[in-house]
Amino acid sequence: MDLQDQLKNLFPNHEPAPVEAAEEVAHELYVQKEPMICKFEKRKGKATTIIEGYEGSDADFKILAKEIKTKLSVGGTFKDDSIIIQGDYRDKIMEILKVKGFKVKRVGG
């Protein structure tokens, strides 16, 4: 007995509402003219990649941070108007951002 049958037994007079398909609208990120800075630092002896210089809203930058972390399968955070990624992933991050239409400048090393 599946869930629908169980619900029909509990509520015999209930008519299910028609299911409406919700349209998903892809979120457009603000693509700026100035390049974003992708730099490498060591913090507490560990390698980190830092992305700075985004001029759009913080919500868009957080979405971008989540996409990068998901694609690279790494940890990171959004803090003080910069994305901090664990590890040295400058080349991969620059490729991801270039595909999205951003200009990226490599700084350090």
Residue 27: its pLDDT value, please?
61
Q: What is the mean pLDDT of the chain?
A: 85
Cβ neighbours of residue 6 under 8 Å, at least 6 residues apart? Answer: none
pTM of the model: 0.69
Residue 92: its pLDDT value, please?
92
Instruction: For domain 33-107, give the fold.
Output: Translation Initiation Factor Eif1 (3.30.780)
Q: HSE on the CB side for 24, CA within 13 Å?
A: 1
pLDDT tens, 38-86? Answer: 999 998 999 999 999 888 888 888 888 999 999 999 999 988 889 999 9
- pLDDT above 90 as % of the chain: 33
Q: What mean pLDDT comes out for the span 22-45?
A: 78
